[in-house]
Amino acid sequence: MASQAKGLQNFISDLRNAKSKEEESSRVERELAKIRRKFASGLSSKSNEDGSNTSLSSYQRKKYVWKLVYIHVLGYEVDFGHSEVLTLVKSNKFSEKQVGYVALSLLLRGSDPLMNSVVNSIRSDLVAGGASKGSNSVQIDTAQSLALCSIANISGLELIQALHVEVQHNLVSKTSSPNVKKKSALCLLRLVRTSPNLFAGREFAPHIAQLLQDRHLGVLTSTMSLLNGLAVQHPTEYETLIPYVVHILGMLVIKKACGKEYLYYKTPSPWLQIKLLKFLQLYPNILAEKDANPSSKASTAQLTQVVQKILTETDVSDSINKSNADHAILFEAVNLIVCWGPSGPTQLREAAMKLLGKFISVREPNIRYLALMTMAKLAQLDTGSAEGVKKHQTTVLVSLKDADISVRRRALDLLFVMCDSDNAEMIVDELVNHLVLADAAIREEMVLKIAILAEKYATDLRWYVDTILKLISISGDHVSDPIWHRVVQIVTNHPQGDLQAYAAATLLVAASPRRCHETAVRVAAYVLGEFGFLIAERPGMSGEEQFRILHQHWHSSDETTRAILISTYAKLANLYEECRPLVAPVFARCKNSVDVEIQQRSAEYAAMREAFSPEAVEDLLREMPPFEDKEQTALELRLKDKEGEDSATFVKAARPSVEQRQRAAQAAAAAREVEEEAQRQHYEEEGGEEDYDEEDRLQDLAPVGIPKEIIPAMRKAFSNLCTCSSGVLFENNFIQIGLKHDYQAAQGRITVFFGNVTSNLLKHVRISIDDCDHLRMQKQGTEGLLDDEEGGGCSVAARTQAKLLILVETLAPFDDAPAMRVKFETTEGIKHEYPLRLPIVATCFMEPVELASGAFMQRWKSLEGQERECQEIVKAPQSAPEIDEEYMEKIRSIITDGLHFGHCQGCDPTPWTISGAATYRTGSKDKNGNNINVGCLVRVEANPQARAFRVTTRTLHPLCSKAVKNVALVSIKLA
Residues marked as binding?
Answer: 38, 59, 63-67
CA distance 155 to 967: 79
DSSP state of 897: I
Q: Would you tell me how many other CB atoms lie within 10 Å of the CB of residue 432?
A: 19
Question: Which of 38, 190, 571, 766 is the binder for other proteins (CB under 8 A)?
Answer: 190
Q: Which of residues 213-252 bind other proteins (CB under 8 A)?
A: 217-218, 221-222, 225, 229, 232-233
**486 contacts other proteins (rule: CB under 8 A):** no
8 A C-beta contact, residue 427 and residue 419: yes
Residues binding other proteins: number (CB under 8 A): 90
State which residue, 137 or 293, has the beta carbon closest to other proteins. Answer: 137
**274 contacts other proteins (rule: CB under 8 A):** yes
Could you give the C-alpha distances from 617 to 76, 438, 740, in angstroms and in order?
A: 64, 48, 38
The H or E element spanning position 832 is strand 831-837
**647 contacts other proteins (rule: CB under 8 A):** yes
**401 contacts other proteins (rule: CB under 8 A):** no
Residue (of 749, 848, 762) closest to 805 by Cα position: 749
Residue (of 388, 389, 378, 283) closest to 331 by Cα position: 378
Among the residue ranges 176-184, 472-480, 487-495, 668-676, the one whose residues contact other proteins (CB under 8 A): 176-184
Q: How far is the CB of 326 from other proteins (least distance, A)?
A: 9
Residue (of 436, 441, 514) closest to 475 by Cα position: 436
DSSP-derived secondary structure for 619-685: HHTSPPPPPP--SS-HHHHHHHHHH-TTSHHHHHHHSPPHHHHHHHHHHHHHHHHHHHHHHHHHHHH
Q: Which of residues 367-386 bind other proteins (CB under 8 A)?
A: 368-370
Q: How far is the CB of 190 from other proteins (least distance, A)?
A: 5
Q: Which of residues 303-332 bind other proteins (CB under 8 A)?
A: 321, 324-325, 327-328, 331-332
Among the residue ranges 178-186, 597-605, 865-873, 903-911, the one whose residues contact other proteins (CB under 8 A): 178-186
Q: Which of residues 568-627 bind other proteins (CB under 8 A)?
A: none
290 phi and psi angles, rounded to 5 deg: -80, -40
**3 contacts other proteins (rule: CB under 8 A):** yes
Residue (of 480, 492, 394) closest to 444 by Cα position: 480
Among the residue ranges 543-551, 612-620, 635-643, 748-756, the one whose residues contact other proteins (CB under 8 A): 635-643
Residue (of 819, 793, 829) closest to 677 by Cα position: 829
Q: Which of residues 135-164 bind other proteins (CB under 8 A)?
A: 138-139, 142, 145, 148-149, 152-154
Question: Which of 164, 392, 409, 486 is the binder for other proteins (CB under 8 A)?
Answer: 409
Q: How far is the CB of 830 from other proteins (least distance, A)?
A: 54
CA distance 724 to 899: 9
State which residue, 75 or 113, has the beta carbon closest to other proteins. Answer: 75
State which residue, 405 or 852, has the beta carbon closest to other proteins. Answer: 405
**261 contacts other proteins (rule: CB under 8 A):** yes
Q: Would you tell me how many other CB atoms lie within 10 Å of the CB of residue 888?
A: 20
Q: How far is the CB of 404 from other proteins (least distance, A)?
A: 4
Q: How far is the CB of 191 from other proteins (least distance, A)?
A: 10
Dmax over Cα atoms in the chain, in whole Å?
A: 123
State which residue, 135 or 826, has the beta carbon closest to other proteins. Answer: 135
Q: How far is the CB of 53 from other proteins (least distance, A)?
A: 18
Q: Which of residues 846-885 bind other proteins (CB under 8 A)?
A: none
Question: Which of 193, 589, 672, 799 is the binder for other proteins (CB under 8 A)?
Answer: 193
Per-position x/- string for 701-730, each x denoting binding to other proteins as judged by CB under 8 A, each - no binding: ------------------------------
**17 contacts other proteins (rule: CB under 8 A):** no
**186 contacts other proteins (rule: CB under 8 A):** yes
8 A C-beta contact, residue 957 and residue 973: no
Among the residue ranges 267-275, 504-512, 827-835, 881-889, the one whose residues contact other proteins (CB under 8 A): 267-275
Could you give the count of Cα atoms lying within 13 Å of 425 in the half-sphere of its Cβ?
A: 9
Alpha helices, H only, 512-542: 518-531
State which residue, 329 or 769, has the beta carbon closest to other proteins. Answer: 329
**187 contacts other proteins (rule: CB under 8 A):** yes
Q: How far is the CB of 171 from other proteins (least distance, A)?
A: 13
**365 contacts other proteins (rule: CB under 8 A):** yes
Q: Which of residues 56-115 bind other proteins (CB under 8 A)?
A: 59, 62-63, 66, 69-70, 73-77, 93-95, 98-99, 102, 105-106, 109-110
**278 contacts other proteins (rule: CB under 8 A):** yes
Q: How far is the CB of 67 from other proteins (least distance, A)?
A: 10
8 A C-beta contact, residue 205 and residue 238: yes
Q: How far is the CB of 624 from other proteins (least distance, A)?
A: 32
- In our burial notation (b when 16+ CB lie closer than 10 A, e otherwise), range 916-930 reads bbbbbbbbbeeeeee
Question: Hey, which residues does 736 pair with through a beta bridge?
Answer: 731, 755
8 A C-beta contact, residue 700 and residue 531: no
Question: Which of 172, 271, 361, 393 is the binder for other proteins (CB under 8 A)?
Answer: 271
Could you give the count of Cα atoms lying within 13 Å of 564 in the half-sphere of its Cβ?
A: 21
**1 contacts other proteins (rule: CB under 8 A):** yes
Residue 835 amino acid letter: P
CA distance 419 to 415: 6
Q: How far is the CB of 278 from other proteins (least distance, A)?
A: 6
Residues 6+ apart with CB under 8 A from 745: 845, 847, 921, 931
Among the residue ranges 168-176, 184-192, 467-475, 909-917, the one whose residues contact other proteins (CB under 8 A): 184-192
**182 contacts other proteins (rule: CB under 8 A):** yes
8 A C-beta contact, residue 549 and residue 525: no
Question: Which of 300, 366, 480, 893 is the binder for other proteins (CB under 8 A)?
Answer: 366
